[in-house]
């Protein structure tokens, strides 16, 4: 039985609970750098599953069995041994494509991002890629990205086992419909509205008649996050856990 509804929770806890639900029953979740909320979600999913899925936090000494950096991650993914990964972008397009390179003319960009690293590869081979963006605005969620670091979909004659399943933002949750190559609004977070999501989203998306409110984290979820997950997370994200959970590593 799910716990009683708490009176107070943080947005980060809501988002972690949502993402943990999207992870589902899988074997292995890998989380890249600078991803404290997805990392919280992955460890929460592990706590709920009694040790499953296996979680690799790439910045961690304790929760990372890779010893040769990115090449081992890519090998593992290519062998089908990573089930869930997380990606984001300076821009996310309505077709699920992401931009981690630049905005404007490629030779003379108005904005330069850190770069794509392995996103173009991992997007193709990891079965469940969850897109995540804390800034939900028309400048980040765009009709078409200025530079395609990794395409959301591929032509039918391209063999591809991976791709996006959802986009979680600070306002709502979208699912990605591969057959239509577009997003569908699944739920709106408490305190936000469908009208707000529509106004702040640059791309078109499908809008079902029965869009509900994103469920708030229950007491059991908050207990696991605060008592079990946050202390583990402090090794990798000390500033995040200090700010959100008042835990000092």
pLDDT in tens, 134-146: 999 999 999 999 9
Confidence of residue 2 (pLDDT cuts 50, 70, 90): very low
Query: Which strands sit side by side in the sheet containing 54-57, from one edge to the other?
Result: 54-57, 28-31, 84-87, 128-133, 164-169, 172-177, 182-188, 212-213
**Is 142 a member of any domain?**
no
- Find the helix or strand (DSSP H, E) in which 92 lies: strand 91-93
In a domain, 144, yes or no: no
The dihedral through the CA atoms of 136, 138, 142, 147 has a sign that is: negative
Domain with 50 in it: what CATH number? Answer: 3.40.1080.10
Q: At what angle do helices 11-23 and 36-48 cross, to 10 degrees?
A: 60
- Domain contains 125: yes
Q: Which of 61-65, 123-127, 133-137, 205-209 has the lowest mean pLDDT?
A: 61-65
CB 167 within 8 A of CB 183: yes
Summarize pLDDT for 67-123 with one digit per residue, the tens. 776 788 899 999 999 999 999 999 999 999 999 999 999 899 999 998 888 899 999
Give residues with Cβ within 8 angstroms of 18, minimum separation 6: 41, 168, 173, 214
- Residue 219 pLDDT > 90, yes or no? yes
Specify if 145 maps to a domain: no
Residue 163 domain boundaries: 11-90+118-137+151-245
* pLDDT tens digit sequence for 178-212: 999 999 999 999 999 999 999 999 999 999 999 99
* CA-CA-CA-CA dihedral for 192, 196, 197, 201, to nearest 10: -150
Q: Flag the least confident range among 12-26, 49-63, 125-139, 193-207.
A: 49-63
- Report if residue 5 sits inside a domain: no
From the centroid of its chain, how far is CA 74?
18
Is the residue at 220 inside a domain? yes
Q: Dump pLDDT digits (tens) for 43-55.
A: 999 999 999 999 9
Could you give the number of structural domains in the chain? Answer: 1
């Amino acid at each position: 039985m799910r716990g009683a509804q708490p009176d107070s929770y943080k947005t980060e806890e809501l988002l972690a609970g949502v993402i943990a639900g999207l992870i589902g029953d899988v074997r292995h979740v890998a989380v890249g750098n600078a991803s404290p909320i997805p990392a919280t979600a992955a460890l929460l999913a592990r706590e709920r599953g009694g040790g499953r899925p296996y979680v690799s936090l790439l910045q961690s000494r304790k929760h990372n069995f890779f010893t040769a950096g990115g090449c081992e991650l890519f090998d593992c993914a290519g062998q089908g041994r990573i089930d869930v990964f997380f990606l984001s972008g300076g821009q996310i397009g309505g077709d699920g494509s992401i931009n981690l390179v630049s905005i404007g003319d490629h030779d003379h960009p108005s904005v330069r991002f850190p770069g794509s690293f392995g996103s173009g590869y991992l997007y193709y081979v990891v079965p469940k890629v969850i897109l995540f963006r804390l800034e939900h605005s028309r400048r980040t969620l765009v009709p078409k990205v200025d530079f395609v670091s990794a395409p959301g979909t591929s032509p039918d004659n391209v063999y591809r086992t991976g791709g996006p399943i959802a986009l979680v933002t600070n306002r709502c949750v979208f699912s990605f419909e591969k057959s239509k190559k577009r997003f569908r609004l699944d739920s709106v977070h408490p305190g936000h509205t469908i009208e707000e999501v529509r106004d702040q989203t640059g791309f078109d998306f499908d809008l079902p008649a029965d869009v509900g409110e994103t469920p708030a984290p229950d007491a059991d979820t908050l207990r696991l996050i605060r008592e079990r997950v946050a202390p583990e997370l402090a090794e990798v994200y000390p500033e995040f856990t200090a700010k959100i959970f008042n835990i000092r590593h």
